[in-house]
Amino acid sequence: MVRQIIISLFIMAVISGPAVPASAADITLLNVSYDPTRELYQDFNAAFAKYWQSKKGAKVTINQSHGGSGKQARAVIDGLEADVVTLALAYDIDAIQKSNLIAENWHKRLPHNSSPYTSTIVFLVRKGNPKGIMDWNDLIRPGISVITPNPKTSGGARWNYLAAWGYILKQKGGDERQATEFITRLYKNVPVLDSGARGSTITFMERGIGDVLLAWENEALLAIKETGKGNFKIVAPSISILAEPPVAVVDKIVDKRGTRAVAQAYLDYLYTTEGQEIAARNYYRPRMESMAKKYAKQFPKLKLFTIDEVFGGWQKAQKTHFSDGGIFDRIYQPGK
């Protein structure tokens, strides 16, 4: 009896076989990305595989891994063998660079600071906007419940936070002191911090918690498409931040695996007409003028400021706001 069980278990293991069927001749790439890009890269990978097949006559399979941007960077540093990383913000790629997997000049290797598409932060409110939320200053009203993920783990959450901070600095006479006070009151209205952008979207839409979700523009547009129009509405604030999610080839891995050429071509393809159109169709703002014009209608119009302009770059913003003992640690007390 026992022997039979052992045998059947071994047979089961043998039949189920290796979970990786790819033959040695095929090229595979691993793209380690952040949370909301799942649909984008699903489309893009199919298009690139077709392009590569027609150009080089070789089959390429792109594997995807998604998760919170900071967490994903951590996994790559710990040994997840990504050929390319496409993360939510430059700071996370900088972290990988610091472990010597990526060359120091990575953000200059591709056009537009190595960000082939951009996005911004908008509000998602419930049907008919019952709380009348129109702009950032509505978020700190008493009784408004705001959903945003944890800036410690989520790239999107950091963009949310910086957008709110920048809103105050861009007001007439707005200074750091006012911004600190504003952000303190804002996070007093946050009942729960999810670890990633997608988690927050689910909290807001599926669990029905909160009056307003601070979301990636692409995430908000996709969520409305997925759940049917009418239940939710996008509100564009008067001003927001230009989010530039960057991409990079992981030098050490592609050199080891011999995939540099295809990995480079993969990222370059993001900048082509076809790549830009796929980005736009998945609600990312394309960099290419012609595509931006073609898809202008689907994006709300709002004033955008960059992180370099208001915060002096990611390194500085990270250190001031999100590092241990930074402003976020001082202003946020869970459960209060």
Partner 1 sequence: MSITRTSAVPNSTGEPAVVRWLLTGIALTFIFLFLIIPVAAVFAEAFARGFAGYVKALKDPLAVSAIKLTLLTAGIAVPLNMLFGVAAAWAIAKFEFPGKNILVSLIDLPFAVSPVIAGLIFVLLYGTYGLLGPWLVKHDIKIIFAVPGIAIATIFVTFPFVARELIPLMQLQANDEEEAATTLGARGWQTFFRITLPNIKWGILYGVILCNARAMGEFGAVSVVSGHIRGQTNTMPLHIEILYNEYNFTAAFAVASLLLMLSLITITLKSLLERRIHQGRYSR
User: Is residue 10 close enough to count as binding partner 1 by CB under 8 A?
Assistant: yes
C-alpha separations of 58 from 9, 18, 23, 194, 293 in Å: 38, 23, 13, 41, 34
Nearest to partner 1 of 243, 253 (CB atom): 253
Nearest to partner 1 of 75, 265 (CB atom): 75
Of the residues 43, 51, 81, 313, which one makes contact with partner 1 according to CB under 8 A = 81
CB of 16 to partner 1, least distance (A): 4
User: Is residue 2 close enough to count as binding partner 1 by CB under 8 A?
Assistant: yes
Of the residues 27, 29, 30, 168, which one makes contact with partner 1 according to CB under 8 A = 30
β-bridge mates for residue 120, sequence order = 242
Structural tokens at position 24: 């040695």
C-alpha separations of 230 from 36, 123, 124, 129, 220 in Å: 22, 15, 12, 11, 13
Nearest to partner 1 of 104, 226 (CB atom): 226
User: Is residue 24 close enough to count as binding partner 1 by CB under 8 A?
Assistant: no
CB of 31 to partner 1, least distance (A): 10
User: Is residue 43 close enough to count as binding partner 1 by CB under 8 A?
Assistant: no
- Residue list 57-76, contact with partner 1 (CB under 8 A): 63-67, 75
- Buried-exposed string 24-54: b where 16+ CB fall within 10 A, e elsewhere: eeebebbbbbbbbbeebbeebbeebbebbee
User: Is residue 227 close enough to count as binding partner 1 by CB under 8 A?
Assistant: yes
**Is 193 in contact with 104 (CB distance < 8 Å)?**
no
Phi, psi of 32 (to 5 degrees): -95, 115
Amino acid at 86: T
User: Is residue 9 close enough to count as binding partner 1 by CB under 8 A?
Assistant: yes
- Residue list 145-204, contact with partner 1 (CB under 8 A): 198-199, 202
Query: In this chain, which stretch among 11-19, 242-250, 273-281, 317-325 interacts with partner 1, using CB under 8 A?
Result: 11-19
Amino acid at 285: R
Provide the residue count of the chain: 336
Phi, psi of 21 (to 5 degrees): -85, -10
Of the residues 47, 77, 209, 310, which one makes contact with partner 1 according to CB under 8 A = 77
Nearest to partner 1 of 15, 25 (CB atom): 15
Query: In this chain, which stretch among 31-39, 120-128, 140-148, 276-284 interacts with partner 1, using CB under 8 A?
Result: 31-39
Pattern 250-269, partner 1, x by CB under 8 A: ------x-------------
User: Is residue 25 close enough to count as binding partner 1 by CB under 8 A?
Assistant: no
**Is 64 in contact with 72 (CB distance < 8 Å)?**
no
Of the residues 79, 130, 142, 173, which one makes contact with partner 1 according to CB under 8 A = 79
Phi, psi of 126 (to 5 degrees): -80, 165
Q: How far apart are CA 53 and CA 60, in angstroms?
A: 7
Amino acid at 310: V
Nearest to partner 1 of 160, 200 (CB atom): 200
**Is 128 in contact with 169 (CB distance < 8 Å)?**
no
Nearest to partner 1 of 88, 110 (CB atom): 88
Structural tokens at position 262: 């295809």
| Geometric angle at alpha carbon 136, from 135 and 142, rounded to 5° | 105
Q: Given the rule CB under 8 A, which residues bind partner 1?
A: 1-2, 5-6, 9-10, 12-13, 16-20, 30, 35, 38-39, 63-67, 75, 77-81, 99, 198-199, 202, 223, 226-227, 256
